[in-house]
Amino acid sequence: MSSTDLRTALEHLGFQVRSIAPLHGGDLSDVFRFESDHETVVAKSGQHVGIEARMLREMAKAGAPVPAVIAATDTLIVMEHLSEVPPTAQGWIEAGAALRTLHETQSPQNGWTEDYAFGSVKLNNRPATDWPSFWAERRLLPFAELFPDIGSRLERVCDRLPELIPHNATNLLHGDLWSGNLLFSTRGAQFIDPACYHGDAEVDLAMLHLFGAPPPAFWEGYGEPASDWHARRPLYQLFPALVHLALFGDGYRGLVERCLVPYL
């Protein structure tokens, strides 16, 4: 969305726009900071941001720190602006505690009430009969047809899921928790850009370790994970690795291969 189109959309929502400036919003959305009535706010446009707004509100209900949603349509979300600060040990402790709070929120079933997408990668969030079925049918097997060269290996991994991961898992997940979606602000650690659903809390922990690792202070706030969680980490990292392969190309094929190897 251009700044001119954004100004028109914001004015239609009742905002008096004084200035607009683009912000870095990742690869799949447009994000702007704008001044309105002496207040600085953030606008994000995209095909699925209306769903994101509902996810942020659900996370807030669970007690997780997220930017407040001021207004939203199907394709535009207006949120409070958060002033970023460098991460500190205390900030990481707060982040860990906040993620634990999010994960303590349970649901009667896995999945989510709405489907979602990462760009062209569609996410079927319909609940499955159990967690291994959800991870297989909703997250891994859709890539078997897209990448025939690894399709048979994905199927073999999915056949083993009942012995590898919990039968039932319904923790509230951020769903895309890489370090760029954890913002340290003057108000403390904040979660942004969610892709929520209910499942195994280790999904978020695995994603947080996909492109690095949080410092020990994070675990002070979160608490100790299961002693054998490392055995499942590549399995949960396999899904975001496949998403990156689909969206950004063969540069991520090696990451997919590394995630597959422990289970074949």
Q: What would the two tokens of residue 13 be?
A: 């929502």
Residue-wise DSSP of 12-27: HTT--EEEEEEE---S
Return all residues near 128 (Cβ < 8 A) that are at least 6 apart.
110, 111, 134, 137, 138
Asked if residue 51 lies in contact with residue 59, where contact means CB atoms within 8 angstroms, the answer is: no
H helical segments located in 188-232: 202-208, 216-222
> Which residue among the candidates 176, 193, 200, 204 is catalytic per the annotation?
176
Cα–Cα distance, 222 to 132 (Å, whole number):
25
CA torsion, ordered 43, 46, 47, 49, to nearest 10 deg: -40
204 flagged as catalytic: no
| Alpha carbon distance 206, 172 (integer Å) | 15
Write phi, then psi, for 82 (nearest 5 degrees): -110, 130
Distances (CA, A) of 165 to 23, 201, 232: 39, 11, 7
List the one residue out of 170, 169, 171, 172 whose CA is nearest residue 59.
172
Distance CA 171, CA 229 (A): 16
- Who contacts 225 (Cβ-Cβ below 8 Å, separation ≥6)? 202, 205, 219
Q: Which residues are catalytic?
A: 176
